[in-house]
Amino acid sequence: MRTIKGPGIFLAQFAGDAAPFNSLDAICGWAANYGYKGVQIPTWVGSLIDLEKAATSKTYADELAGTAAKHGLEITELSTHLQGQLVAAHPVYDTMLDGFAPAKVHGNPKARQEWAVQQLHWAAKASKNLGLTEHATFSGALAWPFLYPFPQRPAGLVEEAFDELARRWTPILNAFDEAGVDVCYEIHPGEDLHDGITYEMFLERVNNHPRANLLYDPSHFVLQQLDYLDYIDIYHERIKMFHVKDAEFNPTGRQGVYGGFQSWINRAGRFRSLGDGQVDFASVFSKMAQYDFAGWAVLEWECAIKHPEDGAREGAEFIKNHIIRVTEHAFDDFAASGTDLAANRKILGLS
Protein backbone atom coordinates (compact mmCIF):
# COMPACT_ATOMS: atom_id res chain seq x y z
CA MET A 1 0.00 0.00 0.00
CA ARG A 2 1.00 3.60 -0.60
CA THR A 3 0.12 6.78 1.23
CA ILE A 4 -2.08 9.08 -0.86
CA LYS A 5 -0.41 12.30 -1.95
CA GLY A 6 -1.90 15.61 -0.91
CA PRO A 7 -3.53 17.84 -0.19
CA GLY A 8 -3.88 19.21 -3.71
CA ILE A 9 -6.29 21.83 -5.04
CA PHE A 10 -8.05 22.19 -8.40
CA LEU A 11 -7.59 25.82 -9.43
CA ALA A 12 -10.57 26.10 -11.82
CA GLN A 13 -13.03 27.49 -9.28
CA PHE A 14 -10.53 30.02 -7.92
CA ALA A 15 -8.81 31.47 -11.00
CA GLY A 16 -9.91 35.01 -11.82
CA ASP A 17 -8.88 38.49 -12.89
CA ALA A 18 -7.89 39.78 -9.46
CA ALA A 19 -4.74 38.97 -7.47
CA PRO A 20 -3.76 36.47 -6.19
CA PHE A 21 -5.87 34.41 -8.58
CA ASN A 22 -4.70 35.91 -11.88
CA SER A 23 -1.31 34.22 -12.38
CA LEU A 24 0.20 30.81 -11.69
CA ASP A 25 2.89 32.32 -9.48
CA ALA A 26 0.44 34.25 -7.31
CA ILE A 27 -2.17 31.52 -7.00
CA CYS A 28 0.53 28.97 -6.10
CA GLY A 29 1.67 31.27 -3.30
CA TRP A 30 -1.94 31.53 -2.10
CA ALA A 31 -2.43 27.74 -2.19
CA ALA A 32 0.86 27.04 -0.43
CA ASN A 33 -0.10 29.44 2.34
CA TYR A 34 -3.11 27.25 3.10
CA GLY A 35 -0.96 24.13 3.27
CA TYR A 36 -1.55 22.61 -0.16
CA LYS A 37 1.21 20.49 -1.67
CA GLY A 38 -0.05 20.32 -5.24
CA VAL A 39 -2.10 22.26 -7.81
CA GLN A 40 -4.26 20.87 -10.60
CA ILE A 41 -4.31 23.30 -13.52
CA PRO A 42 -7.34 24.01 -15.74
CA THR A 43 -5.87 24.35 -19.21
CA TRP A 44 -8.56 26.72 -20.50
CA VAL A 45 -7.39 29.47 -18.12
CA GLY A 46 -4.82 31.39 -20.14
CA SER A 47 -3.49 33.31 -17.15
CA LEU A 48 -2.30 30.02 -15.62
CA ILE A 49 -1.01 28.11 -18.64
CA ASP A 50 -0.48 28.39 -22.39
CA LEU A 51 -1.46 24.86 -23.38
CA GLU A 52 -0.01 24.91 -26.88
CA LYS A 53 3.27 26.28 -25.60
CA ALA A 54 3.41 23.66 -22.84
CA ALA A 55 2.88 20.99 -25.52
CA THR A 56 5.55 22.28 -27.86
CA SER A 57 8.20 23.65 -25.49
CA LYS A 58 9.81 21.52 -22.80
CA THR A 59 11.54 24.66 -21.57
CA TYR A 60 8.21 26.39 -20.96
CA ALA A 61 6.82 23.26 -19.26
CA ASP A 62 9.85 23.22 -16.98
CA GLU A 63 9.22 26.89 -16.17
CA LEU A 64 5.64 26.07 -15.16
CA ALA A 65 6.84 23.28 -12.89
CA GLY A 66 9.49 25.61 -11.51
CA THR A 67 6.91 28.26 -10.67
CA ALA A 68 4.98 25.72 -8.60
CA ALA A 69 8.15 24.33 -7.03
CA LYS A 70 9.19 27.82 -5.91
CA HIS A 71 6.25 27.65 -3.51
CA GLY A 72 6.90 24.06 -2.46
CA LEU A 73 4.18 22.72 -4.77
CA GLU A 74 3.90 20.12 -7.51
CA ILE A 75 1.63 20.25 -10.54
CA THR A 76 -0.58 17.22 -9.90
CA GLU A 77 -2.39 17.01 -13.25
CA LEU A 78 -3.75 19.13 -16.07
CA SER A 79 -7.48 19.36 -16.78
CA THR A 80 -9.41 19.73 -20.05
CA HIS A 81 -12.92 19.44 -18.65
CA LEU A 82 -14.36 22.15 -20.90
CA GLN A 83 -12.54 21.00 -24.01
CA GLY A 84 -13.49 17.38 -23.36
CA GLN A 85 -17.13 18.42 -23.20
CA LEU A 86 -16.78 19.75 -26.73
CA VAL A 87 -15.37 16.53 -28.18
CA ALA A 88 -18.97 15.30 -28.29
CA ALA A 89 -21.72 17.90 -27.95
CA HIS A 90 -25.38 17.40 -28.79
CA PRO A 91 -26.74 20.28 -30.94
CA VAL A 92 -29.31 21.20 -28.30
CA TYR A 93 -26.41 22.62 -26.25
CA ASP A 94 -24.60 24.41 -29.10
CA THR A 95 -25.42 27.95 -28.00
CA MET A 96 -24.56 27.30 -24.35
CA LEU A 97 -21.33 25.43 -25.14
CA ASP A 98 -19.94 28.10 -27.46
CA GLY A 99 -18.73 29.87 -24.33
CA PHE A 100 -16.33 26.98 -23.68
CA ALA A 101 -14.39 27.75 -26.86
CA PRO A 102 -12.73 30.79 -28.46
CA ALA A 103 -14.89 33.25 -30.39
CA LYS A 104 -13.38 32.20 -33.73
CA VAL A 105 -15.30 28.89 -33.61
CA HIS A 106 -18.59 30.15 -32.17
CA GLY A 107 -21.58 29.16 -34.27
CA ASN A 108 -19.53 26.50 -36.03
CA PRO A 109 -19.91 23.15 -34.20
CA LYS A 110 -17.57 21.31 -36.58
CA ALA A 111 -14.77 23.83 -36.10
CA ARG A 112 -15.42 23.91 -32.35
CA GLN A 113 -15.12 20.12 -32.12
CA GLU A 114 -11.89 20.15 -34.15
CA TRP A 115 -10.52 22.83 -31.84
CA ALA A 116 -11.38 20.70 -28.80
CA VAL A 117 -9.70 17.62 -30.24
CA GLN A 118 -6.55 19.63 -30.91
CA GLN A 119 -6.64 20.84 -27.32
CA LEU A 120 -6.71 17.25 -26.08
CA HIS A 121 -3.75 16.31 -28.26
CA TRP A 122 -1.81 19.28 -26.88
CA ALA A 123 -2.81 18.26 -23.35
CA ALA A 124 -1.28 14.82 -23.91
CA LYS A 125 2.03 16.35 -25.03
CA ALA A 126 1.97 19.03 -22.33
CA SER A 127 1.38 16.39 -19.65
CA LYS A 128 4.35 14.41 -20.97
CA ASN A 129 6.54 17.53 -20.96
CA LEU A 130 5.54 18.16 -17.35
CA GLY A 131 6.29 14.59 -16.33
CA LEU A 132 2.64 13.90 -15.44
CA THR A 133 1.00 10.50 -15.75
CA GLU A 134 -2.72 11.36 -15.38
CA HIS A 135 -5.05 13.85 -17.03
CA ALA A 136 -8.57 14.99 -16.08
CA THR A 137 -11.38 15.54 -18.57
CA PHE A 138 -15.06 15.09 -19.45
CA SER A 139 -16.37 12.69 -22.07
CA GLY A 140 -18.90 15.01 -23.66
CA ALA A 141 -22.46 13.93 -24.35
CA LEU A 142 -24.50 12.87 -27.37
CA ALA A 143 -27.07 10.70 -25.55
CA TRP A 144 -27.58 12.79 -22.39
CA PRO A 145 -30.66 14.70 -23.68
CA PHE A 146 -32.38 11.30 -23.96
CA LEU A 147 -31.54 10.17 -20.43
CA TYR A 148 -35.14 9.66 -19.34
CA PRO A 149 -36.84 6.90 -21.37
CA PHE A 150 -39.85 8.95 -22.38
CA PRO A 151 -40.65 9.71 -25.11
CA GLN A 152 -39.56 6.18 -25.88
CA ARG A 153 -36.10 6.11 -27.41
CA PRO A 154 -35.83 4.62 -30.92
CA ALA A 155 -34.10 1.24 -31.02
CA GLY A 156 -30.34 1.64 -31.41
CA LEU A 157 -30.23 5.37 -30.54
CA VAL A 158 -28.12 5.00 -27.38
CA GLU A 159 -25.91 2.37 -28.97
CA GLU A 160 -25.11 4.64 -31.91
CA ALA A 161 -24.38 7.54 -29.56
CA PHE A 162 -21.84 5.44 -27.64
CA ASP A 163 -20.39 4.02 -30.86
CA GLU A 164 -19.78 7.58 -32.05
CA LEU A 165 -18.36 8.63 -28.68
CA ALA A 166 -15.85 5.79 -28.94
CA ARG A 167 -14.97 6.71 -32.53
CA ARG A 168 -14.17 10.27 -31.46
CA TRP A 169 -12.18 9.36 -28.36
CA THR A 170 -10.13 6.41 -29.64
CA PRO A 171 -7.58 8.55 -31.53
CA ILE A 172 -7.28 10.83 -28.51
CA LEU A 173 -6.75 7.89 -26.19
CA ASN A 174 -4.06 6.62 -28.56
CA ALA A 175 -2.32 10.01 -28.42
CA PHE A 176 -2.32 9.90 -24.63
CA ASP A 177 -0.99 6.35 -24.78
CA GLU A 178 1.93 7.55 -26.88
CA ALA A 179 2.57 10.22 -24.24
CA GLY A 180 2.37 7.70 -21.38
CA VAL A 181 -0.58 9.48 -19.74
CA ASP A 182 -3.91 8.11 -18.47
CA VAL A 183 -7.10 9.89 -19.51
CA CYS A 184 -9.27 10.12 -16.39
CA TYR A 185 -12.92 10.77 -17.17
CA GLU A 186 -14.81 12.53 -14.41
CA ILE A 187 -18.02 10.54 -14.09
CA HIS A 188 -20.54 13.35 -13.97
CA PRO A 189 -24.21 14.10 -14.75
CA GLY A 190 -24.39 15.94 -18.05
CA GLU A 191 -21.82 13.57 -19.56
CA ASP A 192 -22.60 10.36 -21.38
CA LEU A 193 -20.20 8.77 -18.88
CA HIS A 194 -22.19 9.57 -15.75
CA ASP A 195 -22.17 6.30 -13.79
CA GLY A 196 -20.54 2.89 -13.77
CA ILE A 197 -22.75 1.28 -16.40
CA THR A 198 -22.23 4.07 -18.93
CA TYR A 199 -18.47 3.92 -18.33
CA GLU A 200 -18.58 0.18 -19.03
CA MET A 201 -20.56 0.78 -22.24
CA PHE A 202 -17.86 3.18 -23.39
CA LEU A 203 -14.98 1.01 -22.23
CA GLU A 204 -16.29 -1.94 -24.23
CA ARG A 205 -16.43 0.21 -27.36
CA VAL A 206 -12.84 1.42 -27.00
CA ASN A 207 -11.71 -2.20 -26.57
CA ASN A 208 -10.86 -1.73 -22.89
CA HIS A 209 -8.29 0.87 -23.83
CA PRO A 210 -5.63 0.96 -21.10
CA ARG A 211 -5.72 4.77 -21.02
CA ALA A 212 -9.51 5.08 -20.60
CA ASN A 213 -9.54 5.50 -16.82
CA LEU A 214 -11.48 7.28 -14.11
CA LEU A 215 -11.48 10.40 -11.98
CA TYR A 216 -13.33 9.51 -8.77
CA ASP A 217 -15.56 12.21 -7.26
CA PRO A 218 -18.10 10.93 -4.72
CA SER A 219 -20.16 14.13 -4.75
CA HIS A 220 -21.69 13.27 -8.13
CA PHE A 221 -22.73 9.87 -6.83
CA VAL A 222 -24.46 11.31 -3.76
CA LEU A 223 -26.59 13.44 -6.09
CA GLN A 224 -27.44 10.37 -8.19
CA GLN A 225 -27.99 8.14 -5.12
CA LEU A 226 -25.31 5.73 -6.34
CA ASP A 227 -23.26 3.71 -3.83
CA TYR A 228 -19.96 5.61 -3.97
CA LEU A 229 -18.12 3.12 -1.73
CA ASP A 230 -19.16 0.06 -3.73
CA TYR A 231 -18.06 1.98 -6.83
CA ILE A 232 -14.47 2.00 -5.48
CA ASP A 233 -14.66 -1.76 -4.88
CA ILE A 234 -15.81 -2.30 -8.48
CA TYR A 235 -13.60 0.14 -10.38
CA HIS A 236 -10.52 0.66 -8.19
CA GLU A 237 -8.19 -0.71 -10.86
CA ARG A 238 -9.31 2.08 -13.20
CA ILE A 239 -9.44 4.92 -10.66
CA LYS A 240 -6.33 7.03 -11.28
CA MET A 241 -7.48 10.46 -9.99
CA PHE A 242 -9.44 11.65 -6.96
CA HIS A 243 -11.45 14.85 -6.50
CA VAL A 244 -12.32 15.39 -2.86
CA LYS A 245 -15.69 17.12 -3.00
CA ASP A 246 -18.64 16.93 -0.64
CA ALA A 247 -22.38 16.93 -1.34
CA GLU A 248 -25.73 16.36 0.32
CA PHE A 249 -29.04 14.94 -0.84
CA ASN A 250 -32.16 15.93 1.11
CA PRO A 251 -35.28 14.88 -0.83
CA THR A 252 -38.66 16.28 0.14
CA GLY A 253 -42.26 15.78 -0.90
CA ARG A 254 -41.67 18.47 -3.52
CA GLN A 255 -38.39 17.44 -5.21
CA GLY A 256 -35.81 14.72 -5.52
CA VAL A 257 -32.89 13.80 -7.78
CA TYR A 258 -33.94 16.02 -10.68
CA GLY A 259 -34.14 19.17 -8.56
CA GLY A 260 -37.25 20.73 -10.07
CA PHE A 261 -35.25 23.28 -12.10
CA GLN A 262 -34.33 25.07 -8.88
CA SER A 263 -31.13 27.00 -8.14
CA TRP A 264 -28.34 25.15 -6.36
CA ILE A 265 -29.28 26.63 -2.99
CA ASN A 266 -32.85 25.32 -3.38
CA ARG A 267 -32.10 21.86 -4.77
CA ALA A 268 -32.52 18.61 -2.85
CA GLY A 269 -29.01 17.73 -4.04
CA ARG A 270 -26.31 20.34 -3.39
CA PHE A 271 -22.52 20.48 -3.50
CA ARG A 272 -20.99 21.47 -0.18
CA SER A 273 -17.60 22.35 1.23
CA LEU A 274 -15.63 19.50 2.75
CA GLY A 275 -17.15 18.29 6.00
CA ASP A 276 -20.43 20.13 5.47
CA GLY A 277 -22.07 17.42 3.36
CA GLN A 278 -22.90 13.73 3.65
CA VAL A 279 -19.95 11.95 2.05
CA ASP A 280 -18.32 9.42 4.38
CA PHE A 281 -14.77 10.47 3.63
CA ALA A 282 -13.25 8.31 6.38
CA SER A 283 -14.50 5.26 4.48
CA VAL A 284 -13.55 6.73 1.10
CA PHE A 285 -9.95 7.38 2.13
CA SER A 286 -9.76 3.94 3.77
CA LYS A 287 -10.84 2.22 0.58
CA MET A 288 -8.48 4.29 -1.55
CA ALA A 289 -5.61 3.28 0.75
CA GLN A 290 -6.76 -0.35 0.80
CA TYR A 291 -6.61 -0.49 -3.00
CA ASP A 292 -3.20 1.19 -3.16
CA PHE A 293 -4.33 4.41 -4.88
CA ALA A 294 -1.12 6.06 -5.99
CA GLY A 295 -2.36 9.54 -6.90
CA TRP A 296 -3.32 12.83 -5.33
CA ALA A 297 -6.25 13.78 -3.13
CA VAL A 298 -7.30 17.05 -4.79
CA LEU A 299 -9.88 19.47 -3.41
CA GLU A 300 -12.51 20.55 -5.91
CA TRP A 301 -14.39 23.31 -4.16
CA GLU A 302 -18.03 23.84 -5.09
CA CYS A 303 -20.49 24.90 -2.42
CA ALA A 304 -23.89 26.52 -2.58
CA ILE A 305 -23.36 28.30 0.74
CA LYS A 306 -19.78 28.79 1.94
CA HIS A 307 -17.27 31.35 0.66
CA PRO A 308 -14.64 29.72 -1.58
CA GLU A 309 -11.64 30.96 0.38
CA ASP A 310 -13.07 29.52 3.58
CA GLY A 311 -13.69 26.28 1.71
CA ALA A 312 -10.10 26.25 0.44
CA ARG A 313 -8.60 26.98 3.85
CA GLU A 314 -10.70 24.37 5.63
CA GLY A 315 -10.31 21.89 2.78
CA ALA A 316 -6.53 21.69 3.05
CA GLU A 317 -6.71 20.69 6.70
CA PHE A 318 -9.63 18.34 6.05
CA ILE A 319 -7.74 16.40 3.39
CA LYS A 320 -4.55 16.37 5.43
CA ASN A 321 -6.42 14.86 8.37
CA HIS A 322 -8.05 12.19 6.21
CA ILE A 323 -4.94 10.98 4.40
CA ILE A 324 -3.96 7.67 5.96
CA ARG A 325 -0.26 7.03 6.46
CA VAL A 326 -0.33 3.38 5.54
CA THR A 327 1.33 0.76 7.69
CA GLU A 328 4.52 -0.96 6.61
CA HIS A 329 3.78 -4.09 8.62
CA ALA A 330 0.77 -6.27 9.33
CA PHE A 331 -0.70 -5.34 12.71
CA ASP A 332 -0.34 -8.91 14.01
CA ASP A 333 3.28 -9.45 12.93
CA PHE A 334 4.31 -9.35 16.58
CA ALA A 335 2.50 -12.65 17.11
CA ALA A 336 3.97 -14.45 14.11
CA SER A 337 5.39 -17.85 15.05
CA GLY A 338 7.97 -17.99 12.26
CA THR A 339 7.10 -21.56 11.32
CA ASP A 340 8.36 -23.37 8.22
CA LEU A 341 6.92 -25.97 5.82
CA ALA A 342 7.67 -28.90 8.10
CA ALA A 343 5.99 -27.16 11.04
CA ASN A 344 2.95 -26.24 8.91
CA ARG A 345 2.55 -29.86 7.81
CA LYS A 346 2.78 -30.96 11.42
CA ILE A 347 0.08 -28.45 12.44
CA LEU A 348 -2.16 -29.80 9.66
CA GLY A 349 -1.56 -33.36 10.78
CA LEU A 350 0.22 -34.24 7.55
CA SER A 351 3.50 -35.48 9.00
More confident residue, 266 or 339: 266
**Alpha-carbon distance 111 to 227, whole Å?**
39
- pLDDT band for 171, please (50, 70, 90 cuts): very high
pLDDT at 224 over 80: yes
What is the identity of the amino acid at 273?
S
Give me the pLDDT at residue 292, please. 97
Domain regions of the chain by residue span: 5-347
At 319, the amino acid letter reads I
Nearest-angstrom CA–CA distance, 316 and 212 = 29
Please give the pLDDT value at position 1: 84
CB 257 within 8 A of CB 232: no
Per-residue pLDDT at 327 exceeds 90: no
Phi-psi region of 6 (alpha: psi -120 to 50; beta: other; left: phi over 0): left
Q: Half-sphere exposure (CA, 13 Å, Cβ side) for 200?
A: 6
Q: What is the pTM of this model?
A: 0.95
Residue 330: pLDDT band by 50, 70, 90 thresholds? confident
Residue 335 DSSP label: G
Alpha helices in the chain (DSSP H): 24-33, 51-56, 58-70, 81-87, 94-97, 109-129, 157-179, 196-205, 219-224, 228-235, 281-290, 308-322, 341-347
Higher pLDDT, 21 or 347: 21
pLDDT of residue 333: 72
**How far is CA 132 from each of CA 127, 176, 179, 282, rounded to the nearest angstrom?**
5, 11, 10, 28
Q: Is residue 90 within 8 Å of residue 45, measured between CB atoms?
A: no
pLDDT score at 64: 98
- List the beta bridge partners of residue 27: none
Residue 328's pLDDT is 80
> What confidence tens digit (pLDDT) does each residue in 185-210 have?
999 999 999 999 999 999 999 999 99
pLDDT digits (tens, 9 = 90+) for 74-127: 999 999 999 999 999 999 999 999 999 999 999 999 999 999 999 999 999 999
Long-range contacts of 196-202 (CB under 8 A, 24+ apart): 196/226, 196/231, 196/234, 196/235, 198/162, 199/235, 201/162, 202/139, 202/162, 202/165, 202/166, 202/169
Q: Which long-range contacts (CB under 8 A, 24 or more apart) does 278-282 make?
A: 278/222, 278/246, 278/247, 278/248, 278/249, 279/218, 279/219, 279/222, 279/228, 279/245, 279/246, 279/247, 280/229, 281/218, 281/244, 281/246, 281/318, 281/322, 282/322
C-alpha dihedral sign at 295, 299, 302, 303: positive
DSSP class of 12: T
Residue 231 has pLDDT above 80, yes or no: yes
Confidence at residue 199, expressed as pLDDT on a 0 to 100 scale: 98
For the CA atoms of 226, 9, 267, 146, what is the dihedral angle to 10 degrees? -60
Q: What is the pLDDT of residues 13-36, one digit of tens each?
A: 999 999 999 999 999 999 999 999
Q: Which CATH class is domain 5-347?
A: alpha beta
Indicate if the alpha-carbon torsion angle 108, 109, 112, 118 is positive or negative: negative
pLDDT exceeds cutoff 80 at 147: yes
Residue 322 has pLDDT above 90, yes or no: yes
Examine residue 91 and say whether the peptide bond preceding it is cis (omega within 30 degrees of 0): no
